[in-house]
Amino acid sequence: MKRWAAVCRLGGVGDNLVAGSVLAPLKRLGYMTEVITSTPNHVVYLHNPHIDKLAVKDSTNDLPQNDMLAWQKWMESRAREYDIFVHASHSMEGRHALFDNMTSFWLPAEHRREICAGSYLETIHKIAGVPFQFGPLYFSSPEEIDNAHLIKAAIGGECIVWVVAGSRYDKAYPKAGVAIAHLIRDLGVPVVVMGGPNEKDQALIAQIKQQVEHQNGNRTGLHLASPSTTERANKWPLRVSLTFAQQADLVVSPDTGPAWAVAFEPMPKVILVSHASAENITKHWRNTITLHADQNRVPCWPCHRLHNNPSTCVENADKTGAACMSDIGVEQLLEAIYTQWQSRRRSNVVEFAVAQHAHPAGQAGHR
């Protein structure tokens, strides 16, 4: 008889991708795998070759509501159906990042850092009892990749993807418009800005558009990959955005879903962390520079608190964002991006030289 392992995660884009990290090791151990998840973010699991069955729930109708004990008993009843059951809920939030209804949220910062230390990825692998073998978290179909390449070709063939914000108040860089204007002008490369349809992201995108036009005199080179509520023609479904991010030449992002989708992709990345530590987020990621606040200037960082609004966060001086994110200077950020961009250029030269050596003139292989 076949052995079955189930991974249950009914979360956001990044939450689901992190939980899915254990699927490949479970397959290597010989298990058939099922993922139990919910709409609408179940789509991040489509085309994942390590999933044998995808069970999609409506979290408001299929699971107990407003009764955490009943919810946990539902999980326990499902767990008895499998040889391995990975209950991935609260494996990041609640473990490494704290809700404001938890006592630990209000404990001294040093104690919070002690109890919330560690890697999100390592924690879920420990829960599943599988080795620390990390690989791609998001899988695109050939058709999705072809579509992304068509979009890239239409905007110039190379691009930087900039993700404007995550779901929490602190996961947004207030000076993004200034930095993006410099990138377009200095590198001559298009920047594709990704954001959601929510009010916060749309306000940030409007600021970026205004700042780029103010600094550069126009918005040439600035492109939007955003499901705008007012510009339906610009609507990008989630999988279109995630696939496009995987085809970018460089990605700049806070800790959020598209960043996790590219965590183990080869392109260079610059990741800005806010309430979390670099260990929490980018430990094990490929080709990544992680930027964060200087604790001498921002002693609250990392706070490991999940901020729903500014009331529990330390804001910057002009009340435009979190102090931790704002402490990352534009020059510091641009230096990291330029370093990663140049490393990509050098890598391309090396790859070309290796290919030429392996396939002399007249015998070149397909690239």
Q: What is the DSSP letter of 236?
A: -
The vertex-177 CA angle with 171 and 180, nearest 5°, equals: 100
Closest CA to 161 of 259, 237, 265, 291: 259
Helix (H, G, I), strand (E, B) or coil at 129: coil
pLDDT of residue 362: 38
Tokens representing residue 226 in the block: 């955003």
Residue given tokens 């103010």 in the structure block? 214
pLDDT tens digits along 187-242? 999 999 999 888 888 899 999 999 999 999 999 999 998 654 444 445 689 999 99
Helix (H, G, I), strand (E, B) or coil at 165: strand
Distance CA 240, CA 146 (A): 11
Q: What is the DSSP letter of 93?
A: B
* Range from 109-113, 128-132, 235-239, 300-304 carrying the lowest mean pLDDT: 235-239
* Report field, pTM of the whole predicted structure over 0.85: yes
pLDDT tens digits along 145-162? 999 999 999 998 899 999
Residue given tokens 């509520």 in the structure block? 229
* Range from 49-53, 178-182, 231-235, 352-356 carrying the lowest mean pLDDT: 352-356
Whether 43 and 24 have beta carbons less than 8 Å apart is answered as no
Tokens representing residue 151 in the block: 């979009």
Whether 265 and 258 have beta carbons less than 8 Å apart is answered as no
* Distances in whole angstroms, Cα of residue 364 to Cα of each of 164, 347, 350: 41, 19, 16
Distance CA 112, CA 107 (A): 6
The vertex-78 CA angle with 73 and 83, nearest 5°, equals: 130
Domains and their CATH numbers in the chain = 1-89 (3.40.50.2000), 142-352 (3.40.50.2000)
Name the amino acid, one letter, at 175.
Answer: K
pLDDT of residue 308: 87
pLDDT of residue 364: 34
